[in-house]
């Protein structure tokens, strides 16, 4: 590390990339985080509270590339568009390796399954009023200011084509104070749009809003949890079955990543006759597993289970699928009750599944597949399973959060 004090700035040598995508320079006073810098770069910057400001790159990295989005310098949605693909994918793999190392887990981590641009099918936008103009997009990096987007190379073209229409709807729904939150999902039948925090007096504009939804050819329009119009059931193809997810409900961010995750899960389950799918959502894994094994799908979210139940009412030659609504954080399935399953798959929220994993570790279930979007809590849960006698077989990162510091991961385990 080279550090040379000038009258106004400090010369920093960036040596690594942090878990949020910031460059890190080591100094006698501790690490300094340098937003937008890459390993191997020298930068001039002011230092304040361990962060660099007013950054000027003196020596760029050969891995630096031009960002593909015009909003990149301000938008807080992406953090690593300036990093070439090979080192970008290796950085994401390293995020998993580091998280595992923190829990004392040494294992081979497979190369990252990559994500294509223009593939993300769901987005959460913010809308705000600026005079008579509606700003719609994302917040700036580390700021409450809005970036009014005209493009987003991460999202599928169908969502970008709908931005003008979303602004028209937002104009009708803006509260007098505060911001609007807009969940958009691209489905086989069109856009599924759900507004949250809308003006409570929107009921007086039902006719206008309905007309706009028809003009924009939306599949469904939901406002503050109430479905105003459903022209067509918004559907996602989950292994050959059409599932209509609840408004603003959880779905995998990209179709390609969903298919990759499902293939990894199916390979990791062995050849089971009966599988427990925990944190099952609307059936992303359950419906595919049910082609070869009976499934017990457990989920706490009632609308998600309703979507799964509705999909199962259409005959498709599946094995038996049973459904249970249950909060697995408060009421995990006990080890003795897991004994009837040949395999367990769990895909919890970012907080992980510690209480449930502790019961799995006490069971004799032969195969376990863990899916997670948080390497830190995944590593914690895997540590519990390993200490309980399971052997970690494979770990595969799947990148469905392009240019962001987030990474999905599938880990397979076997009880010898």
Q: Which residue carries 């397979």 as its tokens?
A: 412
Distance in angstroms (rounded) separating the CA atoms of residues 93 and 20:
13
* Region 262-272 average pLDDT: 97
**CA-angle at 349, arms to 120 and 139, nearest 5°:** 50
Two structure tokens written together for 247: 């408004």
Domain ranges in the chain with CATH number 2.40.50.1070: 122-230
Output the pLDDT for position 67.
95
Helix (H) or strand (E) holding 94: helix 85-102
> Is beta strand 367-372 parallel, antiparallel or unpaired with respect to 408-415?
antiparallel
The 10 Å Cβ neighbour count of residue 39 is 17
Instruction: Domain 89-116+251-415: give its CATH code.
Output: 3.40.50.150
Contact status, residue 155 vs residue 123, Cβ threshold 8 Å:
yes
Alpha carbon of 312 to those of 164, 248, 316, 326: distances in Å?
A: 36, 21, 8, 19
CA angle in degrees (0–180, nearest 5) for 411-412-415: 140
Residue 172, marked binder: no
| CATH 2.40.50.140 placement within the chain | 4-59
Q: What is the model's pTM?
A: 0.93
How many CB atoms are located within 10 Å of the residue 351 CB? 9
Mean pLDDT calculated for residue range 222-246: 94
- ∠ at Cα 400 (395, 403), nearest 5°? 110
279 is in an annotated binding site: yes
**122-230 classified as CATH 3.40.50.360:** no
Mean pLDDT, residues 245-259? 95
Q: Can you tell me the mean pLDDT for 241-255? A: 95
Instruction: Indicate whether 372 pLDDT > 60.
Output: yes
Query: Residue 4 has what pLDDT?
Result: 44
How far is the C-alpha of 347 from the C-alpha of 195, rounded, in Å? Answer: 27
Q: Are 375 and 409 in contact (CB under 8 A)?
A: yes
Query: Is the pLDDT assigned to residue 7 strictly greater than 80?
Result: no
Q: How far apart are CA 3 and CA 282, in angstroms?
A: 53
Q: Report the C-alpha gap between 105 and 377 in whole angstroms.
A: 13
What's the pLDDT band for 1 if we cut at 50, 70, 90?
very low
User: How far, in Å, are 53, 74, 161, 229 from residue 212 at the CA level?
Assistant: 45, 31, 15, 10
Average model confidence (pLDDT) for the chain? 94
Q: Count CB neighbours of 112 within 10 A.
A: 22
Chain segment 56-70, per-residue pLDDT in tens: 999 999 999 999 999
- DSSP labels for 378-402? HHHHHHHHHHTTEEEEEEEEE--ST
Q: How confident is the model at residue 247 (pLDDT cuts 50, 70, 90)?
A: very high
Q: How far apart are CA 352 and CA 244, in angstroms?
A: 26
pLDDT tops 80 at residue 5: no
What is d(CA 110, CA 100) in angstroms, rounded to the nearest whole number? 13
Residue ranges matching CATH 3.40.50.150 in the chain:
89-116+251-415
pLDDT value for 3: 45
Q: What is d(CA 364, CA 362) in angstroms, rounded to the nearest whole number?
A: 7
pLDDT, tens digit (0-9, with 9 covering 90-100), for 161-210: 999 999 999 999 999 889 999 999 999 999 999 999 999 888 888 899 99
Contact 163, 136 (CB under 8 A): yes
Q: What is the pLDDT of residue 317?
A: 87
Domain range 4-59, CATH architecture = Beta Barrel (2.40)
User: Whole-angstrom distance between the N-terminal and C-terminal Cα of the chain?
Assistant: 47
**pLDDT of residue 141 exceeding 90:** no
Mean of pLDDT values over 67-93: 94
Strands 190-196 and 220-223: parallel
Structure token pair of residue 220: 């469904």
Longest dimension (CA), the chain: 74
Q: What are phi and psi of 287, to 5 degrees?
A: -65, -35
Identify the residue whose tokens are 């602004």.
167
CB 218 within 8 A of CB 85: no
Q: Determine if residue 7 is labeled as part of a ligand binding site.
A: no
Residues recognised as catalytic: 373
**252 annotated ligand binder:** yes
> What is the rounded CA–CA span in Å between residue 115 and residue 413?
25
CA distance 20 to 9: 24
The two three-digit tokens of residue 281, written as one number: 């959502």
Q: Which two tokens stand for residue 251?
A: 């779905």
């Amino acid at each position: 590390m080279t550090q040379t004090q000038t009258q106004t700035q400090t010369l920093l040598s960036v040596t690594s990339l942090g878990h949020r995508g910031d460059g890190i320079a080591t100094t006698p006073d501790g690490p300094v985080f340098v937003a937008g810098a890459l390993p191997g770069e020298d930068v001039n910057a002011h230092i304040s509270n361990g962060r660099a400001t007013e950054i000027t790159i003196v020596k760029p990295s050969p891995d630096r590339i031009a960002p593909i989005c015009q909003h990149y310098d301000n938008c807080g949605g992406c953090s690593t568009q300036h990093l070439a693909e090979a080192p970008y994918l290796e950085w994401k793999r390293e995020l998993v390796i580091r998280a595992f190392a923190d829990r004392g887990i040494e294992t081979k981590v497979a190369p990252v399954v990559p994500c294509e641009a223009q593939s993300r099918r769901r987005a959460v936008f913010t809308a705000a009023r600026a005079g008579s103009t509606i700003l719609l997009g994302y917040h700036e990096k580390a700021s409450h200011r809005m970036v009014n987007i005209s493009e987003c190379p991460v999202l599928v073209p169908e969502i970008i084509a709908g931005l003008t229409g979303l602004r028209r709807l937002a104009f009708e729904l803006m509260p007098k104070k505060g911001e609007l939150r807009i969940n958009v999902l691209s489905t086989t039948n069109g856009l599924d749009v759900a507004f949250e925090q809308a003006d409570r007096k929107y009921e007086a504009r039902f006719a206008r809003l309905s007309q706009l939804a028809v003009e924009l050819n939306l599949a469904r329009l939901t406002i503050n949890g109430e479905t105003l119009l459903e022209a067509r059931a918004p559907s996602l193809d989950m292994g050959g079955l059409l599932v209509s997810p609840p408004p603003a409900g959880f779905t995998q961010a990209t179709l390609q990543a969903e298919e990759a995750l499902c293939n990894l899960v199916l390979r990791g389950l062995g050849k089971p006759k009966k599988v427990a799918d925990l944190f099952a959502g609307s059936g992303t894994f359950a419906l595919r597993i049910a082609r070869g094994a009976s499934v017990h799908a457990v989920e706490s979210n009632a609308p998600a289970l309703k979507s799964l139940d509705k999909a199962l009412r259409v005959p498709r030659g599946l094995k038996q699928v049973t459904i249970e609504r249950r909060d697995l954080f408060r009421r995990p399935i006990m080890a003795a009750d897991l004994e009837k399953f040949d395999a367990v798959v769990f895909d919890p929220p970012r907080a992980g599944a510690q209480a449930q994993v502790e019961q799995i570790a006490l069971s004799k279930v032969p195969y376990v597949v863990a899916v997670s979007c948080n390497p830190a809590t995944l590593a914690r849960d895997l540590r519990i399973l390993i200490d309980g006698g399971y052997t970690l077989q494979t770990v595969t990162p799947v990148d469905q959060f392009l240019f962001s510091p987030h990474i999905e991961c599938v880990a397979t385990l076997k009880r010898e």
